[in-house]
Amino acid sequence: MIAVAIDGPAGAGKSTIARQAAKAMGFIYVDTGALYRAIGLYALQNGVDLSCERNVDQMLSDIKITLSFVNEEQRVLLCGRDVSMDIRTPEVSMAASNVSALPKVRAFLFDLQQEMAHTHNVVMDGRDIGTVVLPHAQLKIFLTASPEERAKRRYEELLQKGAQVSFEDVLKDLKERDYQDSHREIAPLKPAQDAVLVDTTACTLQQSIDRIIDLIKERLS
Ligand code: DC
Protein backbone atom coordinates (compact mmCIF):
# COMPACT_ATOMS: atom_id res chain seq x y z
CA MET A 1 0.00 0.00 0.00
CA ILE A 2 1.11 3.55 -0.65
CA ALA A 3 0.63 6.29 1.92
CA VAL A 4 1.15 10.02 1.55
CA ALA A 5 0.96 11.97 4.83
CA ILE A 6 0.11 15.66 4.74
CA ASP A 7 0.29 17.57 8.00
CA GLY A 8 0.11 21.24 8.79
CA PRO A 9 -1.81 23.94 10.63
CA ALA A 10 -5.46 24.88 10.11
CA GLY A 11 -6.16 26.75 6.89
CA ALA A 12 -2.99 25.76 5.02
CA GLY A 13 -5.17 24.25 2.29
CA LYS A 14 -4.45 20.66 3.30
CA SER A 15 -7.88 19.24 2.61
CA THR A 16 -8.40 20.78 -0.83
CA ILE A 17 -4.87 19.97 -1.92
CA ALA A 18 -4.93 16.44 -0.47
CA ARG A 19 -8.31 15.71 -2.05
CA GLN A 20 -7.13 16.79 -5.51
CA ALA A 21 -3.82 14.97 -5.18
CA ALA A 22 -5.62 11.76 -4.15
CA LYS A 23 -7.94 12.10 -7.12
CA ALA A 24 -5.04 12.57 -9.54
CA MET A 25 -3.29 9.49 -8.16
CA GLY A 26 -6.41 7.32 -7.82
CA PHE A 27 -5.91 7.06 -4.04
CA ILE A 28 -8.42 7.55 -1.25
CA TYR A 29 -8.35 10.87 0.57
CA VAL A 30 -8.68 10.49 4.35
CA ASP A 31 -9.44 13.66 6.29
CA THR A 32 -8.50 12.76 9.87
CA GLY A 33 -9.58 16.16 11.23
CA ALA A 34 -13.15 15.03 10.52
CA LEU A 35 -12.72 12.20 13.06
CA TYR A 36 -11.69 14.61 15.82
CA ARG A 37 -14.51 16.92 14.75
CA ALA A 38 -17.05 14.08 15.09
CA ILE A 39 -15.90 13.47 18.66
CA GLY A 40 -15.91 17.24 19.32
CA LEU A 41 -19.49 17.40 18.04
CA TYR A 42 -20.54 14.53 20.28
CA ALA A 43 -18.93 16.20 23.31
CA LEU A 44 -20.68 19.50 22.53
CA GLN A 45 -24.08 17.93 21.92
CA ASN A 46 -23.90 15.84 25.07
CA GLY A 47 -22.26 18.42 27.32
CA VAL A 48 -19.39 16.07 28.14
CA ASP A 49 -17.05 17.41 30.82
CA LEU A 50 -13.67 16.74 29.20
CA SER A 51 -11.76 17.34 32.42
CA CYS A 52 -13.42 14.26 33.97
CA GLU A 53 -11.69 11.05 32.93
CA ARG A 54 -14.73 8.90 33.65
CA ASN A 55 -16.89 11.08 31.41
CA VAL A 56 -14.33 10.78 28.61
CA ASP A 57 -14.20 6.98 29.02
CA GLN A 58 -17.98 6.81 28.95
CA MET A 59 -18.11 9.03 25.86
CA LEU A 60 -15.61 6.86 24.00
CA SER A 61 -17.45 3.67 24.87
CA ASP A 62 -20.71 5.20 23.61
CA ILE A 63 -19.27 6.56 20.37
CA LYS A 64 -19.02 4.65 17.14
CA ILE A 65 -17.30 6.38 14.24
CA THR A 66 -17.29 4.96 10.74
CA LEU A 67 -15.80 6.36 7.56
CA SER A 68 -17.50 5.64 4.29
CA PHE A 69 -16.75 6.80 0.78
CA VAL A 70 -19.44 7.97 -1.63
CA ASN A 71 -18.10 8.87 -5.09
CA GLU A 72 -14.64 8.98 -3.51
CA GLU A 73 -15.89 11.60 -1.01
CA GLN A 74 -15.37 10.77 2.64
CA ARG A 75 -18.49 10.70 4.83
CA VAL A 76 -18.25 10.50 8.61
CA LEU A 77 -20.87 8.55 10.50
CA LEU A 78 -21.24 9.21 14.20
CA CYS A 79 -23.25 6.41 15.83
CA GLY A 80 -24.71 5.65 12.40
CA ARG A 81 -25.68 9.26 11.57
CA ASP A 82 -23.95 11.15 8.75
CA VAL A 83 -22.47 14.24 10.43
CA SER A 84 -20.21 15.31 7.55
CA MET A 85 -21.89 18.72 7.34
CA ASP A 86 -22.58 19.29 11.06
CA ILE A 87 -18.88 19.09 11.93
CA ARG A 88 -17.91 22.16 9.88
CA THR A 89 -18.88 24.95 12.31
CA PRO A 90 -16.39 27.17 14.22
CA GLU A 91 -17.73 25.78 17.53
CA VAL A 92 -16.96 22.25 16.41
CA SER A 93 -13.48 23.34 15.22
CA MET A 94 -12.61 24.45 18.72
CA ALA A 95 -14.29 21.41 20.32
CA ALA A 96 -12.25 19.16 18.00
CA SER A 97 -9.05 20.90 19.04
CA ASN A 98 -10.04 20.41 22.70
CA VAL A 99 -10.79 16.69 22.40
CA SER A 100 -7.70 16.15 20.26
CA ALA A 101 -5.48 17.04 23.23
CA LEU A 102 -6.77 13.99 25.16
CA PRO A 103 -4.52 10.91 24.88
CA LYS A 104 -7.50 8.55 25.12
CA VAL A 105 -9.20 10.22 22.18
CA ARG A 106 -6.03 9.96 20.09
CA ALA A 107 -5.62 6.28 21.00
CA PHE A 108 -9.29 5.67 20.14
CA LEU A 109 -8.79 7.06 16.61
CA PHE A 110 -5.35 5.61 15.98
CA ASP A 111 -6.47 2.13 14.85
CA LEU A 112 -9.16 3.47 12.57
CA GLN A 113 -6.62 5.68 10.78
CA GLN A 114 -4.04 2.91 10.47
CA GLU A 115 -6.62 0.48 9.18
CA MET A 116 -7.54 2.86 6.36
CA ALA A 117 -3.89 2.99 5.30
CA HIS A 118 -3.49 -0.79 5.54
CA THR A 119 -6.40 -1.43 3.23
CA HIS A 120 -6.14 1.43 0.70
CA ASN A 121 -3.61 3.64 -1.03
CA VAL A 122 -4.18 6.91 0.79
CA VAL A 123 -3.43 10.57 0.94
CA MET A 124 -4.13 11.24 4.62
CA ASP A 125 -4.12 14.69 6.15
CA GLY A 126 -4.01 15.83 9.76
CA ARG A 127 -1.55 17.03 12.39
CA ASP A 128 0.39 13.89 13.38
CA ILE A 129 0.09 11.64 10.36
CA GLY A 130 3.78 11.71 9.40
CA THR A 131 5.00 11.75 13.00
CA VAL A 132 2.70 9.22 14.71
CA VAL A 133 -0.01 7.58 12.63
CA LEU A 134 1.93 6.66 9.48
CA PRO A 135 5.63 7.02 10.35
CA HIS A 136 6.47 4.76 7.39
CA ALA A 137 4.56 6.75 4.79
CA GLN A 138 6.40 6.83 1.46
CA LEU A 139 6.05 10.62 1.39
CA LYS A 140 5.46 13.11 4.20
CA ILE A 141 4.58 16.71 3.48
CA PHE A 142 4.32 19.55 5.96
CA LEU A 143 2.10 22.15 4.38
CA THR A 144 1.98 25.64 5.77
CA ALA A 145 1.37 29.32 5.01
CA SER A 146 1.57 32.49 7.09
CA PRO A 147 -1.22 32.90 9.70
CA GLU A 148 -2.52 36.02 7.93
CA GLU A 149 -2.71 34.26 4.57
CA ARG A 150 -4.41 31.22 6.12
CA ALA A 151 -6.91 33.44 7.95
CA LYS A 152 -7.59 35.35 4.71
CA ARG A 153 -8.41 32.11 2.88
CA ARG A 154 -10.61 30.84 5.70
CA TYR A 155 -12.36 34.24 5.95
CA GLU A 156 -13.15 34.31 2.22
CA GLU A 157 -14.44 30.74 2.38
CA LEU A 158 -16.74 31.63 5.29
CA LEU A 159 -17.99 34.78 3.54
CA GLN A 160 -18.83 32.73 0.47
CA LYS A 161 -20.88 30.43 2.65
CA GLY A 162 -22.76 33.48 3.89
CA ALA A 163 -21.28 33.44 7.41
CA GLN A 164 -21.21 36.72 9.36
CA VAL A 165 -17.66 36.88 10.67
CA SER A 166 -14.88 39.44 10.95
CA PHE A 167 -11.37 38.85 9.64
CA GLU A 168 -9.97 39.67 13.09
CA ASP A 169 -12.07 36.94 14.72
CA VAL A 170 -11.05 34.38 12.12
CA LEU A 171 -7.35 35.27 12.62
CA LYS A 172 -7.72 35.13 16.40
CA ASP A 173 -9.44 31.69 16.30
CA LEU A 174 -6.82 30.35 13.93
CA LYS A 175 -3.89 31.54 16.08
CA GLU A 176 -5.54 30.11 19.19
CA ARG A 177 -6.03 26.74 17.51
CA ASP A 178 -2.44 26.79 16.12
CA TYR A 179 -1.12 27.42 19.61
CA GLN A 180 -3.26 24.72 21.19
CA ASP A 181 -2.47 22.13 18.49
CA SER A 182 1.30 22.81 18.58
CA HIS A 183 1.69 22.95 22.35
CA ARG A 184 -0.27 19.93 23.53
CA GLU A 185 1.77 17.23 25.21
CA ILE A 186 0.65 14.39 23.01
CA ALA A 187 1.32 14.28 19.26
CA PRO A 188 1.73 18.04 18.85
CA LEU A 189 1.64 19.57 15.41
CA LYS A 190 5.20 19.54 14.08
CA PRO A 191 6.90 18.41 10.88
CA ALA A 192 8.26 14.85 10.79
CA GLN A 193 12.05 14.85 10.53
CA ASP A 194 11.86 13.54 6.98
CA ALA A 195 8.92 15.70 5.85
CA VAL A 196 9.15 17.93 2.79
CA LEU A 197 8.20 21.47 3.85
CA VAL A 198 5.87 23.25 1.45
CA ASP A 199 4.97 26.89 2.14
CA THR A 200 1.95 27.97 0.09
CA THR A 201 1.80 31.62 1.23
CA ALA A 202 2.72 32.95 -2.21
CA CYS A 203 1.11 30.15 -4.26
CA THR A 204 -2.26 29.87 -5.89
CA LEU A 205 -4.29 26.81 -5.00
CA GLN A 206 -3.57 25.24 -8.38
CA GLN A 207 0.19 25.82 -7.98
CA SER A 208 0.08 24.13 -4.58
CA ILE A 209 -1.89 21.16 -5.94
CA ASP A 210 0.54 20.77 -8.86
CA ARG A 211 3.53 20.92 -6.53
CA ILE A 212 2.15 18.17 -4.28
CA ILE A 213 1.24 15.93 -7.22
CA ASP A 214 4.77 16.43 -8.64
CA LEU A 215 6.27 15.49 -5.26
CA ILE A 216 4.18 12.32 -5.07
CA LYS A 217 5.03 11.27 -8.63
CA GLU A 218 8.72 11.99 -8.07
CA ARG A 219 8.78 9.94 -4.88
CA LEU A 220 6.95 6.99 -6.37
CA SER A 221 8.93 6.84 -9.61
O1 DC B 1 -7.94 19.63 10.19
P2 DC B 1 -9.13 20.13 11.02
O3 DC B 1 -9.16 21.62 11.19
O4 DC B 1 -10.41 19.57 10.52
O5 DC B 1 -8.87 19.49 12.48
C6 DC B 1 -9.71 19.76 13.57
C7 DC B 1 -8.91 19.64 14.87
O8 DC B 1 -8.55 18.27 15.08
C9 DC B 1 -7.60 20.42 14.89
O10 DC B 1 -7.70 21.59 15.66
C11 DC B 1 -6.58 19.51 15.50
C12 DC B 1 -7.21 18.16 15.53
N13 DC B 1 -6.51 17.16 14.73
C14 DC B 1 -5.50 16.46 15.34
O15 DC B 1 -5.16 16.73 16.49
N16 DC B 1 -4.86 15.46 14.67
C17 DC B 1 -5.19 15.16 13.41
N18 DC B 1 -4.57 14.17 12.78
C19 DC B 1 -6.22 15.89 12.75
C20 DC B 1 -6.85 16.90 13.45
State residue 193's pLDDT score: 97
pTM of the model: 0.93
Measured in angstroms, how far is the CA atom of residue 25 from the centroid of ligand 1? 24
Q: Given phi > 0 = left and psi -120 to 50 = alpha, else beta, which region is 121?
A: beta
Instruction: Name the residue at shortest CA distance from atom 11 of ligand 1.
Output: 97
Q: What is the pLDDT of residues 118-176, one digit of tens each?
A: 999 999 999 999 999 999 999 999 999 999 999 999 999 889 989 899 999 999 999 99
What confidence score (pLDDT) does residue 86 get?
Answer: 96
Going by alpha carbons, the residue nearest to atom 16 of ligand 1 is 127
pLDDT at 161: 86
Q: Indicate if the pLDDT at residue 80 is higher than 90.
A: yes
Nearest atom of ligand 1 to the alpha carbon of 128 = 18
The pLDDT score that the predictor gives to residue 97 is 93
Q: Using 50, 70 and 90 to split pLDDT, how confident is the model at 70?
A: confident
DSSP calls for 119-153: HS-EEEEESSIIIII-TT-SEEEEEE--HHHHHHH
Averaged pLDDT of the chain? 95
CB 51 within 8 A of CB 104: no
Q: How far is the CA of 221 from the centre of ligand 1 (A)?
A: 31
104 close to 184: Cβ distance less than 8 angstroms: no
Q: What is the number of the ligand 1 atom nearest to the C-alpha of 184?
A: 15
Q: Are 122 and 28 in contact (CB under 8 A)?
A: yes
- pLDDT at position 43 is 98
Ligand 1 pocket residues where CB is under 6 Å = 10, 32-33, 36-37, 93, 96-97, 100, 126-129, 177, 181
Convert the pLDDT of each residue in 27-59 to its tens digit: 999 999 999 999 999 999 999 999 999 999 999
- Does residue 62 carry a pLDDT above 90? yes
pLDDT at 58: 98
